[in-house]
Amino acid sequence: AADAARREGPAKVVLARTLHVVLERPPDPFDLVALLRERFPGCYPYGWQAGAAVFIGASPELLVERRGTRFSCRPLAGSAGRSADPGADRRRGEVLLADPKERAEHAFVVDEITAALRPLATTLEVPPGPVLHRLPGVQHLATPISGTTGTRLLPLAAALHPTPAVGGVPREAALAAIAAVEGFDRGWYAGGVGWADAAGDGAVAVALRGALVRGDQAILYAGAGITAGSHPAAEAAETDLKLAAVLGLFGAP
């Protein structure tokens, strides 16, 4: 994917991987959701059940929220690990904010979201650059976008999904590349999860940092944005960071 981005392929493709976990006994998935809520208070915990399958997680990323005429988004792209040492942790964040590859990956997301929102927004407020969004184990580049609109929540979500944070740029070419090389069905992973009311208000998060639980087995998902500046080992390490959040629920180190 990185080689393709250096030539004439999609400028960014988000490729995901899965991790298959076999448990000693079937867990109560909604007990795991409660644990996620406790461990990740700055995220959006979720649980969605259909038959024997339950998709659980704690998403760090808000796709879109609408309250009255106000809407907000908080796209994430670009990641780094955390450190228990405050000084080292601060330096990691500074390096992330200054990294040209990470900032370019993030800019793809912000530019596409802004373009999708502009026809639907009465006013649009986009900061000049990203800020750090710090979570347990990982920190991200984030850009809080807001404004006013007469459009209801679900049409807003439909216009935005899939953002370049889970798909790529250009969208259709990136989705075709994902289908060709990723090797598994994403299912609910990277979709939208949230709520809406009759007035068109509500909130939708991107279904990330999740696991599909069926009985005594779980499939975990994590992805990374691949651009011309990507290095495979670093991207794989980023997915390890993201998997760790959910893997810890099952007693793994």
Q: Write out the catalytic residue numbers.
A: 12, 61
The 10 Å Cβ neighbour count of residue 22 is 9
Q: Which residues fall within 8 angstroms of residue 223, CB to CB, at 6 or more apart?
A: 14, 15, 16, 17, 166, 190, 239, 242
Specify whether the CB–CB gap between 145 and 66 falls below 8 A.
Answer: no
Q: How far apart are CA 81 and CA 244, in angstroms?
A: 11
Q: How far apart are CA 150 and CA 157, in angstroms?
A: 14
Specify whether the CB–CB gap between 47 and 33 falls below 8 A.
Answer: yes
